[in-house]
Amino acid sequence: MNPIEQLKSDVENLIKDVNERGEESLKRGANLVTDVIDHLDNGSLRVASKDLSGEWHVNEWIKEAILLYFKLAPMQEYKVGEFYYHDKIPLKKNYKELKVRVVPPATARFGSFMEPGVVLMPSYVNIGAYVGGGTMVDTWATVGSCAQIGSGVHLSGGVGIGGVLEPASARPVIIEDGAFIGSRCIVVEGVLIGKEAVLGANVTLTSSTPIIDVRGSHITEAKGFVPPRAVVVPGTREKEVSGGKIFTSCAYIIGERKESTDKKTSLNSVLREFAIQV
């Protein structure tokens, strides 16, 4: 059994023990919990991972370990520059080692990980999150707990990527490689954004938001998933209620990025063609 498999087995046994015997068991297994957070912090563990078939799987035991970490960690006072804060989790400090560019007052919690080439404008990255190489997290964007952000992604200003810790089985928000998320978009509740997809400004996607594909001869509808290279804009649709008609939020897939050009040219072309604001 390799070290990670052994850690997984030990943590799962600890979780079972804590559920059966209470938090005294947690204190005895504190080192196992901190080991998991250390592995998250250095990128050797991820809350969700993609298998060879392209399917994403949630590593529930890691999320359970994060929840146990919150129970274990004491509230402490930390100092960052001239400022103090009071929390259970310190902030990351090893940006130079990671080769990550950070513009104050950007912050990332210990237990999150950024690959080389990530740029953090004044933004926030929570515990358990993973951000792939070359991704831009723009001003006032937030990356919630356990969110998985791919390489070469652009999270525009004010984007809100939701976090999830409970239930442990819940899939985090996943933004695959090369996606472009426009200004003030909100993506929450485990929504999966496919590779190189484009969300126009102000798109809001929850697990129950209708995502309506109007590209073909037949309109189709899905929830929780935006296909690769799809171009998505915010919209509304009519709904009958007892008092008459209302309009509820939805999102429309109105086109796709072209294969014939490189990513930058393709993105600019799409934005011009569909008059999308970002």
Structure tokens at 74: 């004491």
Is it the case that residue 103 has pLDDT exceeding 90?
A: yes
| DSSP one-letter code for 121 | -
pLDDT digits (tens, 9 = 90+) for 14-64: 999 998 888 788 888 899 999 999 999 999 999 999 998 889 999 999 999
Considering the domain architecture, whether residues 201 and 114 belong to the same structural domain is answered as yes
Same domain, 133 and 14: no
| Residue 198 belongs to some domain of the structure | yes
Rounded to whole angstroms, the Cα distance separating 200 from 25 reads 49
Question: Would you say residue 80 lies in a domain?
Answer: no
List of residues 6+ apart from 84 with CB closer than 8 A? 77, 78
State the Cα–Cα distance between residues 236 and 29, nearest whole angstrom: 50
Looking at per-residue pLDDT, the higher value among 246 and 278 belongs to 246
Answer whether residue 170 shows pLDDT above 90.
yes
Does residue 267 surpass a pLDDT of 80?
Answer: no
Q: Is the pLDDT of residue 96 over 60?
A: yes
Residue 150 confidence (pLDDT)? 98
Mean pLDDT is lowest, of 93-97, 194-198, 246-250, 258-262, for 258-262
The number of folded domains in the chain is 2
Q: What is the pTM of this model?
A: 0.92
Q: What CATH number corresponds to the domain at position 173?
A: 2.160.10.10
Which of 40, 72, 104 terminates a domain? The answer is 72
Could you tell me if 121 and 258 lie in one domain? yes
pLDDT, tens digit (0-9, with 9 covering 90-100), for 178-209: 999 999 999 999 999 999 999 999 999 999 99
**In sequence order, which ranges of 203-262 are alpha helices (DSSP H)?**
none
43 plus 118 within the same structural domain: no
Q: Given pLDDT bands bounded at 50, 70 and 90, which one contains residue 261?
A: very low
- Looking at the fold, whether 106 and 141 belong to one and the same domain comes out as yes
d(CA 86, CA 73) in angstroms, rounded, equals 12
- At residue 34, what are phi and psi to the nearest 5 degrees? -65, -30
Whether the Cβ atoms of residue 183 and residue 209 lie closer than 8 Å to each other:
no
Answer yes or no: do 116 and 23 share one domain. no
Whole domain around residue 179: which residue ranges? 92-267
51 and 155 fall within a common domain: no
- Clarify whether residues 230 and 263 are in a common domain: yes
* One domain for residues 54 and 188: no
Residues 45 and 160 in one domain: no
Q: pLDDT class for 82, splitting at 50, 70, 90?
A: confident
CATH number at residue 28: 1.10.166.10
Residue 272 resides in a domain: no
Query: Given a cut of 90, is residue 81 above it in pLDDT?
Result: no
